[in-house]
Amino acid sequence: MILENRLLKIAQQAIDILYNQSIDESQIPIQQTRKDQEGDFTIVVFGLTRFSKKSPEITADEIGKKIEELEPLVKSYHVIKGFLNLVIEDAYYLEMLGKMKSNDHFGFSSIRENDVVVLEYSSPNTNKPLHLGHIRNNLLGWSVAELLKASGKNVKKVNLINDRGIHICKSMLAWQKWGQNQSPESTSKKGDKFVGDYYVLFDKKYKEEIKELVGNGMEEDDAKKQAPLMLEAQEMLRDWEAGDKDIYKLWTMMNQWVYDGFDKTYAEMGVDFDKVYHESETYLLGKNLVEEGLKNGILFQKENGSVWCDLKEEGLDEKLLLRADGTSVYMTQDLGTAQLRQQDYQPNEMIYVVGNEQNYHFDVLKVILKKLGNSWADHIHHLSYGMVELPHGKMKSREGTVVDADDLMKEMYETAKSTTESLGKIDDFSEEQAAELYKMVSLGALKYFILKVDPKKQMMFNPAESIDFNGNTGPFIQYTHARIQSVLRKAEKLNLPKIEEGILSLEEKEKSLLKLLVNYPSTIKVAAAHYSPSMLANFTFELVKEYNKFYQEHSILKEEDQQKKAFRLDLSLQVAKVIKSSMSVLGIQVPDRM
């Protein structure tokens, strides 16, 4: 914050004058004053008494008096024990409001073209549709990308589609055996759901085979390895990697069905990518890196032909990179993908938005890349996030118990529709306008509910709780924006005077709102530095709460003082602009009517 830095410099100067001590600004603790105390900024002086050789109260009083003398923006000060509370002149906040009004990109930094960040999110498998876990991943990845852009980073949003491997072969084999040449078109089913059904079917038939083998006296672990379906799927994977034309043709057809389905879900969710990578295109580069590492003695080969990396010196374990049959593993393609992205973008940072169950995987990835001679691996960051659960428990893809992303968004839409209609908020809307509002509210509720939670935390998503027009929810924020727009529309016909400098004194709630608005740019920067949309979401909620208190306590259109009325309308307009701006970073639209 500009004012905070200015106050630090003045405090530094005051200490130099008072105690003949030149100290660094970092030695002066400054923070925003607690809401229950008078003041805007608080300097904690306990650590400064070593320069004054006096009590905290006397030290605070002396520094406060000198700051007030040196800085005209400081109106007064108050000392509470070792805390120096500084009160800032209203003129500063009124001046800042004027600057906000003339800046259409208030809060955002200009993009630094050379400050490149590659951010990967989504990363689905082509054996199943996107589910609730993918929703958190996509919303988090997209909003972190927007946060970083707002802070000035040149962000490249990328997706890595896991389109090869044993799990893909399971769906392919099941369709080959029981699909009867059906297709998404012939069954009127979305492509990703169509293919996902065969993944579930494979698991069902596979379990039946295991049960039969165990019943015939085989140990369960052996039965899992010897089940005919699993052996066939493994053979199909080897044939695919060997370039079998028929297998490749089947793989291409089924993957395209899934891509078409994914595209519809992404569009509905409102997320996009600058580039899409495919594991099928990067695993060979990864295999080349592994073979080169083996040749150079960095990696080692076991008797069965499998290739490993010894990470015990780094406190990790041995990591498999190529199976005995020569097929690759996830780590193999991640090595290749990282190398390719480095070549494509030469980024300053490479961020992977992946669940916390993969923490070890990314620790290993960075170590192996460094062992292979890639110093840029130090700039890889795993944005680890907690799992999402619903009130009725965990999800399992293989058993078909996942919460489908499309179904959840449809359910949210219907809930938004019934809630909005019951509250009578669309009485004068056309059918088309109402449908647009339902979609805006439903996606706003879903996105806000997920993004307001710290990414590191596991969370419980409750659809009914998320669509509430009161409390810390998307619809509450959306409704406040619509309320402000209603006030502004009514004011359009008024011929209000220009606000004159120096004649307005701010009410408590007016100043509180302005202080929050002034903090918007620093909130963007801090949230971006922590990769945390939740910080921005909760800032927006605080702003909306403060505006609603102001709205309840002070007249706007009925205010008789024309200067105050003009100011309050300007203040309301800026609050609406910041709400719209901050919510857009979260991927949420706000309505003008509701």
Q: For the residues 217-225, what does the mean pLDDT come to?
A: 94
Lowest mean pLDDT among 333-342, 404-413, 461-470, 559-568: 461-470
Identify which of 445, 438, 119 has the alpha carbon closest to the alpha carbon of residue 272.
Answer: 119
Please name the residue that has the structure tokens 């970073």.
Answer: 585
Mean pLDDT of the chain: 92
Q: Per-residue confidence at 245, pLDDT binned at 50, 70, 90?
A: very high
Three-state secondary structure call for residue 29: coil
Starting at the earlier edge strand, list the strands of the sheet with 154-161: 275-278, 154-161, 116-120, 349-355, 380-385
- Cα separation, 43 vs 467, in Å, equals 41
d(CA 26, CA 38): 24
Residue 400 has a pLDDT of 45
Which residues are within 8 A (CB) of 86 and not within 5 positions of it... i.e. 6 or more apart?
7, 33, 39, 40, 41, 42, 43, 64, 67, 74, 77
Q: Name the 3-class secondary structure at 494.
A: coil
**Would you state the pLDDT for residue 39?**
93
Q: Are 59 and 48 in contact (CB under 8 A)?
A: yes
Q: What is the DSSP string of 239-259?
A: HHHTT-HHHHHHHHHHHHHHH
Q: How confident is the model at residue 501 (pLDDT cuts 50, 70, 90)?
A: low
Short-list 511, 568, 570, 508, CA closest to 91: 511
Give the lowest-confidence range in 149-158, 329-338, 490-499.
Answer: 490-499
User: Of 500 and 216, which is predicted with more confidence?
Assistant: 216
Residue 395 has pLDDT above 60, yes or no: no
* Side-chain-side CA neighbours of residue 104 (13 Å): 0
* Spatial distance between the Cα atoms of 544 and 477, rounded to a whole number of angstroms: 6
Count CB atoms within 10 A of the CB of residue 344: 13
Question: What is the greatest pairwise CA distance in the chain?
Answer: 93
Q: Are 250 and 302 in contact (CB under 8 A)?
A: no
H or E segment to which residue 118 belongs: strand 116-120
Tell me the three state secondary structure of residue 162: strand
Percent of the chain with pLDDT over 90: 79
Residue with tokens 């701010």: 506
The distance in angstroms from the start CA to the end CA of the chain is 35
In a 13 Å sphere around the CA of 241, the CA atoms on its Cβ side amount to 22
Range in 265-269, 458-462, 549-553, 589-593 the model is least confident about: 458-462
Do residues 517 and 557 lie in contact, with contact meaning Cβ atoms separated by under 8 Å?
no
Question: Rounded mean pLDDT of 284-296?
Answer: 94
Question: What are the residues facing 404 on neighbouring strands?
Answer: 131
pLDDT in tens, 467-488: 888 889 999 999 999 999 999 9
Q: Give residue-wise pLDDT tens across range 413-423.
A: 998 998 888 87
Edge-to-edge strands, sheet with 74-80:
30-32, 41-44, 83-88, 74-80
- If one counts every other C-beta atom within 10 angstroms of the C-beta of residue 404, the result is 22
Nearest by Cα to 559 from 550, 572, 568: 568
The least confident of 77-81, 98-102, 315-319, 395-399 is 395-399
pTM exceeds 0.85 for this model = yes
Q: In what order do the strands lie in the sheet with 307-310?
A: 300-301, 307-310, 318-322
| pLDDT per position as a tens digit, 346-368 | 999 999 999 999 999 999 999 99
Average of per-residue pLDDT across 515-539: 96
Alpha-carbon gap, residue 528 to 526, rounded angstroms: 5
Q: Give the pLDDT mean for 210-222.
A: 94
Pairing label, strands 74-80, 83-88: antiparallel
Does 345 score more than 70 pLDDT?
Answer: yes
φ, ψ for residue 188 (rounded to 5)? 55, 45
294 contacts 310 by C-beta, under 8 angstroms: no
Q: Phi and psi dihedrals of 460, rounded to 5?
A: -110, 125
Q: Reduce the DSSP state of residue 269 to 3 states and report it.
A: helix
Residue type, 51: F
Give the chain's radius of gyration (CA, Å). 30
What's residue 398's pLDDT? 42
Say whether pLDDT at 399 is over 50.
no
DSSP state of 346: -
Q: Name the residue type at position 209.
A: E
pLDDT at 402: 67
Question: pLDDT band for position 396 (50/70/90)?
Answer: very low
